[in-house]
């Protein structure tokens, strides 16, 4: 399998246009963005503590391919135990302990054939304090008012978040694993950002899309429209060599029920007896 081309950028001098005085953010905008930042941080802190379920997708492609590939997955979290399901596989995790099963067969220790969860929402929530909130906007979710923020990770934090994600494709998985090194060598060609939707009244996390992309050196021609970006994320201004989008929607726990953990399973997962 061919590795992704890792091109080394030469020095590029970019002229920065001086922003007109009228474009400076107003105090009202600054306050709104700070409020949205505080609220989304609180929503993620709550999410890490409360039982929840989620449904998600992982979509990936490269500039050399004309089609996208999307895989669906779902999961839940309750009382220290995470559940992840994809295709016929189910995985239970508590810390370093893990159990797997295929369809409705018995739970066993890992056999080496279970997929990794593309993106556990708890990972994104835990990494949000390291992001910069670039913008916020009013939106809706399930026909109810909501807020959406654009969060951006850079530097070491971008690489650390990228390696916590997974793609069921060898070349894309290699890209994620190389993100820390790429972020050091060519930081202006690495994009790690997310659109995060939350309820500002209840401070509840509702949905999110995480994008991880490796860009070419080439700027898009002036007469070429940018590729459509995921909802809530800005279009990429350079040609994309590879990019992955992880989408998830928070669900009520009953949407993805946790299996009954009997005494044997609790022992295997390192949980105290009931």
Residue 29: pLDDT band (50, 70, 90) is low
The CA distances from residue 147 to 29, 42, 139, 161, in Å, are 14, 13, 5, 23
Q: Is the pLDDT of residue 11 over 50?
A: no
Predicted pLDDT at 92: 97
User: Which tens digits make up the pLDDT trace of 181-230?
Assistant: 999 999 999 999 999 999 999 999 999 999 999 999 888 887 887 788 99
> b/e per residue, 162-171, with b = 16+ CB within 10 A?
bebbbbbeee
Confidence (pTM): 0.86
Q: Is the pLDDT of residue 264 over 60?
A: yes
CA dist 234 and 149 (Å) reads 12
Least confident of 26-35, 96-105, 231-240: 26-35
Domain ranges, ordered by start, for the chain: 51-268
Predicted pLDDT at 63: 53
> Do the beta carbons of residue 216 and residue 240 sit within 8 Å?
yes
Predicted pLDDT at 15: 27
Predicted pLDDT at 113: 87
> Do the beta carbons of residue 138 and residue 145 sit within 8 Å?
yes
E strands, the chain, where?
A: 52-62, 69-78, 81-86, 89-94, 97-102, 132-141, 144-153, 190-199, 204-219, 238-251
Predicted pLDDT at 27: 55
51-268, CATH topology level: outer membrane lipoprotein receptor (LolB), chain A (2.50.20)
* CA nearest to 182, candidates 2, 1, 6: 6
CA dist 67 and 61 (Å) reads 7
Other C-beta atoms within 10 Å of 240: how many?
Answer: 19
Residues 6 or more apart in contact with residue 273 via CB below 8 angstroms = 263, 266, 267
Report the share of the chain in percent with pLDDT over 90. 75
């Amino acid at each position: 399998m061919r590795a992704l081309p890792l091109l080394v950028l030469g020095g590029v001098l970019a002229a920065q246009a001086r922003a007109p005085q009228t474009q400076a953010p107003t105090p009202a905008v600054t306050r709104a963005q700070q409020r949205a930042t505080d609220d989304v941080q609180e929503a993620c802190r709550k999410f890490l503590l409360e039982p929840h379920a989620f449904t998600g997708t992982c979509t990936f492609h490269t500039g050399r391919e004309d089609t996208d590939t999307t895989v669906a997955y779902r999961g839940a979290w309750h009382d220290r135990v995470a559940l992840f399901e994809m295709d016929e596989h189910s995985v239970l995790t508590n810390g370093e302990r893990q159990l797997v099963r295929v369809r409705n067969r018995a739970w066993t220790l890992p056999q080496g054939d279970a997929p990794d969860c593309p993106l556990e929402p708890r990972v994104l929530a835990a990494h949000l304090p390291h992001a910069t909130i670039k913008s916020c906007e009013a939106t809706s979710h399930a026909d109810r008012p909501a807020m959406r923020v654009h969060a951006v990770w850079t530097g070491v934090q971008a690489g650390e978040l990228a390696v916590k994600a997974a793609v069921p494709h060898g070349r894309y998985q290699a890209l994620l694993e190389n993100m820390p090194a790429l972020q050091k060598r060519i930081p202006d060609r690495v994009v790690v950002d997310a659109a995060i939707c939350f309820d500002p009244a209840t401070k509840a996390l509702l949905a999110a899309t995480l994008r991880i992309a490796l860009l070419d050196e080439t700027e898009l021609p002036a007469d070429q429209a940018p590729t459509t970006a995921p909802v809530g994320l800005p279009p990429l201004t350079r040609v994309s060599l590879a990019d992955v989008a992880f989408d998830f929607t928070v669900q009520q726990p009953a949407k993805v029920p946790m299996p009954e953990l009997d005494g044997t399973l609790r022992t295997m997962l390192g949980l105290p007896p009931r």
